[in-house]
Amino acid sequence: MSRRVRRKVVRRGVEKVDFVEKDELDWTRLPDDTMIQLFSLLNYRDRASLSSTCRTWRTIGKSPCLWQELDLRAHKCDPTATSSLASRCKNLQKLYFRGPDSADAVISLKAKNLKEISGDSCRKMTDSTLCVLAARHEALECLQIGPDFCERISSDAVRAIAICCPKLKKLRISGIQEVDASAINALARNCPNLNDIGFIDCRKVDEAALGNIASLRFLSLAGSTNIKWSLFVLPHLIGLDVSRTDISPSNVSRFFSSSLSLKVLCALNCPLLEADPTFVYNNYNHKGKVLVSIFGDILKENETNIFLHWRNSEKDKRLDEVLNWLEWIVSNSLLRISESNPPGLDNFWLKQGASLLLSLVQSSNEEVQERAATAIATFVVTDDESASIDPLRAEAVMQNNGLRLLLDLARSWHEGLQSEAAKAIANLSVNAKVAKFVAEEGGIGIIVNLARSVNRLVAEEAAGGLWNLSVGEEHKGAIAEAGGVKALVDLIYKWSQSSCGEGVLERAAGALANLAADEKCSTAVASMGGVHALVTLARNCKIEGVQEQGNIELWWQFKKCSNDKLQHLGLVWSGEITHD
């Protein structure tokens, strides 16, 4: 393949244009292995676009190795959409989805060989949905539903999972009303390889029955209530998570003494335990075990973060297993603690919490990275209504090289990481020092690029980042120079016709409203069709927050533009614009 290119040649003051032949790489002749590697670096939409260019790439785009994992959390997932993907998903191994409606739809994928399913925002999921999900995927090895409270799921669903999924190794479910003895005994009988259980934020769990699962090595009861700790007999446990429970020092001591195999006990935000400083700080009480707690300094070993120490140590399969479990457990607990924001934890967040979350951002597990980034976005916010940011917590993230880590995470091709990193950067950017640092490190260009994403969640968080960064006068020009105005206008055109784009629209309109206060940016907004987009938005969108931000921006535009100029732009406004 070749193409003709123009080359300018100047002779004696006369410009002459010659045409020369220049060889160009024929991408369709690259080895299949090379193309598969390139495809693997793209998201699903880009893969689909590339596959549509020629027959060779269409065949490569269907390669089973490219469809080992599927993340549907950002997409409207219905049976029609999943049916269209079914031909590619026969060998699918791992699936992420969001919402109970998506759980019903993923059955249409016909991915009978699925080994891992992870669903969130499933508060309304029922027993019947979960039972069908388990029955259609008998090869499941890992099932995670949470972190929402799944109060409509009962012990009946747990029994069905035990019967339908005999290869199960890991089961984590949040917010069940009760997990009774019959459900736990069904797991013990039918799932001989089950070594990791998480009954998180559950009202009641039969403690004695858990001892019947001989294969159990890792257990999380974080946030669960009505636990009778004295009934626990789990001699083979390696890791135990009792965070956010009422466990006492005496019960922890009993676990340390009675279980020779126990290596780690995670007890974050346990009031009774933390009320006894002599126990928390006295390593003699721990019997050589690792106790992860808020007020102890146990997270550090020889002044080295224990996660980094274990992660960088010589490869040990058993140690890797412990580390993977601990990172997931701690990231989940810190996220839940940051959401509830209990009083008295300022010192923890400043001394340990921020650095710990940033350590988890560097995990090799993308799910842990996501949760850690979300927790960072959450713990710095002190007031959701006023979007107030704790300056000391924000600076603690900066002092630990956190902004660079988050910006690196935002560059990831993984859209889940992009979304959560953009959310953290957006929240932190409310702080003027952080916003300045983000701008100096090239973060505005990164955020603008994310705002162009076709993924709704990524675009929404990126637009929120531009909204916060555009508050400062010093960053408005940089946003415009990076193409931010065009990206925001495009977002409004794209999502104004969507039924699920209100979050994107409010943030994009808010960012444009801030930019419109600047003379140069205001001109850019008008020249790029922004005023027309906002007029259309104001007329057609009935969502209060979107209307408010759109009207503010329009007020700035109408204030600065004459009627002749507006008519020249093709705009006629018959409504009333108010601005306080």
Scan for tokens 């249409």, then name that residue: 108
Q: What are phi and psi of 91, to 5 degrees?
A: -110, 20
Same domain, 43 and 147: no
Same domain, 32 and 135: no
Q: What are phi and psi of 151, to 5 degrees?
A: -70, -15
Cβ neighbours of residue 499 under 8 Å, at least 6 residues apart?
none
Rg of the Cα trace of the chain?
Answer: 27
* Confidence at residue 555, expressed as pLDDT on a 0 to 100 scale: 43
* Confidence at residue 225, expressed as pLDDT on a 0 to 100 scale: 92
For residue 466, tell me if it sits in a domain: yes
Same domain, 504 and 538: yes
* Confidence at residue 570, expressed as pLDDT on a 0 to 100 scale: 44
Same domain, 521 and 471: yes
* Confidence at residue 541, expressed as pLDDT on a 0 to 100 scale: 58
Among the listed residues 244, 262, 246, the one whose alpha carbon sits nearest the alpha carbon of residue 254:
262
DSSP symbol at 254: H
pLDDT in tens, the chain (580 residues): 334 444 444 444 555 545 445 555 666 677 878 888 888 877 777 777 788 888 888 888 888 888 888 888 877 777 777 777 777 788 889 999 888 778 878 877 888 889 999 998 888 899 999 999 999 999 999 999 988 889 899 999 999 999 999 999 999 999 999 999 999 999 999 999 999 999 999 999 999 999 999 999 999 999 999 999 988 888 889 999 999 999 999 898 888 888 888 989 999 999 998 888 777 666 556 667 888 888 766 455 444 556 666 666 656 666 788 889 999 999 999 999 999 888 888 888 998 899 889 989 999 899 999 999 999 999 999 876 666 889 999 999 998 899 999 999 999 988 889 999 999 999 999 999 999 999 999 999 999 999 999 888 999 999 999 999 998 788 999 999 999 999 998 998 888 777 777 888 889 888 888 887 777 777 777 787 777 777 766 666 555 554 454 444 444 444 445 444 444 444 444 444 443 3
Among the listed residues 293, 301, 290, the one whose alpha carbon sits nearest the alpha carbon of residue 272:
293
Query: What's at 324, amino acid-wise?
Result: N
For residue 376, tell me if it sits in a domain: no
Token pair recorded at residue 310: 């274990």
Q: Could you tell me the residue range of the domain that residue 174 belongs to?
A: 68-193
Residue 362: count of CB within 10 angstroms of its CB: 16
Among the listed residues 154, 136, 21, 46, the one whose alpha carbon sits nearest the alpha carbon of residue 86:
136
- The Cα 337–Cα 433 span in angstroms is 26
The total of structural domains in the chain comes to 3
Residues in a beta bridge with 174:
200
Element (H, E) at 468: helix 456-469
Same domain, 156 and 51: no
For residue 329, tell me if it sits in a domain: no
- The Cα 430–Cα 544 span in angstroms is 23
Residues in a beta bridge with 220:
198, 241
The answer, as to whether pTM is greater than 0.85, is no
Residues in a beta bridge with 388:
383
Same domain, 564 and 484: yes
For residue 129, tell me if it sits in a domain: yes
Which burial class, exposed, middle or buried, applies to 56 when counting CB atoms under 10 A from its CB (0-12, 13-18, 19+)?
middle
Spell out a b/e string for 374-395, using b for 16 or more CB atoms within 10 Å of the CB, else e.
bbbbbbbbeeeeeeebbeebbb
Same domain, 454 and 561: yes
The domain boundary residue, chosen from 193, 209, 242: 193
Residue 498: count of CB within 10 angstroms of its CB: 12
* Confidence at residue 56, expressed as pLDDT on a 0 to 100 scale: 83
Query: What's at 460, amino acid-wise?
Result: E
Longest distance between any two alpha carbons in the chain, whole Å: 98
Distance of CA 224 to CAs 194, 208, 228, 292, 365, Å? 20, 15, 11, 18, 25
Among the listed residues 139, 144, 131, the one whose alpha carbon sits nearest the alpha carbon of residue 113:
139
Same domain, 476 and 570: yes
Same domain, 460 and 535: yes
The domain boundary residue, chosen from 164, 193, 222: 193
Same domain, 449 and 563: yes
Specify the CATH number for the domain of residue 128: 3.80.10.10
* Confidence at residue 419, expressed as pLDDT on a 0 to 100 scale: 94
Scan for tokens 């031909």, then name that residue: 87
Distance of CA 402 to CAs 76, 424, 459, Å? 33, 10, 22
- The Cα 29–Cα 551 span in angstroms is 53
Same domain, 31 and 154: no
Strand runs (DSSP E) across 251-399, as ranges?
264-267, 290-293, 300-301, 304-305, 381-383, 388-389
The domain boundary residue, chosen from 38, 61, 84: 61
Bridge pairing between strands 196-200 and 218-220: parallel
